[in-house]
Structure 1
Amino acid sequence: MTDYAVDGTGVRSKRAMFNTLAGALSFPDWFGHNLDALYDCLTDLSWLPEGEIRLVWTDSTVLAAADPAGYAGIREVLDDAVEGFATPGRSLAVVIS
């Protein structure tokens, strides 16, 4: 299992979260910085090593307070990506605190 940390202390917008996730998970240049592109990247992750991928998002309440709609959209995509991740030999888990 490999943990990928997402520090939410400075994340106050959906756009900032896209950038933070892209950096933490080494998203490719084609990442489109929108919810659909986020889902596409999260359900692929072929550029990361095989095995379990665990995304650990700390201080998520910062985004929830600053941009409730953005937070809800990101949370929905994270939940959907975990559910829709179906690459053999790999898995995706998300821990939010």
Structure 2
Amino acid sequence: MAAFDPADELGQDLGFRLLMNTSVTLFWRRAILDETTAWLTTHGYQVTHLDASHWATERDLHRDIAAALNFPDYYGHNLDALNDCMRDVVSQDYGWAPDTTGLAVVFSGYDSFVACCPRAAQIVLDIMADQSRSAALFGHRLICLVQSNDPRIRFEPVGATSVDWNDAEWFDSKRRTD
């Protein structure tokens, strides 16, 4: 599925509304999450559910996400490896069927994981946001839905990007004035 068509009635497109301001969206009420995932499924999205409520360690996260997204056997079971494998998911090498409208990764009970592994929980959402932006560059839609049983849960911003030098001046030596 290519980018959204501005000629469509985008106010009625839940996928568009979910991605409009952020690729990581919080949910408290399960009924609203269920309605959202049902709409996404009906509209051709692949919805991959992960129950984070039983994750007591980062190892639990890696075990379940590797299984759900069909990561290769060499997956390193750490956050850097998660980022690398999500890059492959975005390329639709595995974990994401190419003929779908997009991929929605759904974490339920995420507040339990946050309580046990707050740093890793934040980084996972940051990885999802970064990879969603990468997916958009190729006309792919990656959405992350996060359900929490804590209605007051908060996260730091995700998906922040640095301001980088252009390719021709990337190295410091290319910007010397002496």
Which bracket does the TM-score occupy, shorter chain normalised? 0.7 to 0.9
1:52-67 alignment to 2 at 5 Å? 52-67=102-117
Structure 1 unaligned blocks of 5 or more: none
| Structure 2 match to 1:49 | 97
* TM-score normalised by L of structure 1: 0.86
Give the deviation of 1:10 after TM superposition. Answer: 0.6
- Contact 1:43-1:86 within 8 A present in 2 as well: no
Give the deviation of 1:64 after TM superposition. Answer: 0.5
SS in 2 for 1:44: helix
| Larger relative contact order, structure 1 or 2 (CA cutoff 8 Å, min sep 6) | 1
| Structure 1 match to 2:16 | none
More displaced 10-residue stretch of structure 1: 55-64 or 79-88: 79-88
Between the two proteins, the alignment pairs up a number of residues equal to 97
Greater strand percent: which structure?
A: 1
The structure having more radius of gyration, on CA atoms, is: 2
* TM-score normalised by L of structure 2: 0.50
Structure 1 segments (4+ residues) deviating >3 Å:
86-90
Give the deviation of 1:91 after TM superposition. Answer: 2.5
| Structure 2 match to 1:37 | 81
Give the deviation of 1:85 after TM superposition. Answer: 2.3
Residue 73 (structure 1) aligned with residue 115 (structure 2): no
Give the deviation of 1:87 after TM superposition. Answer: 6.9
Q: Percentage identity across aligned positions? A: 26
Structure 2 unaligned blocks of 5 or more: 1-44, 148-178
- Contact 1:13-1:70 within 8 A present in 2 as well: no
Q: Which amino acid aligns with 1:71?
A: A
- Contact 1:7-1:57 within 8 A present in 2 as well: yes
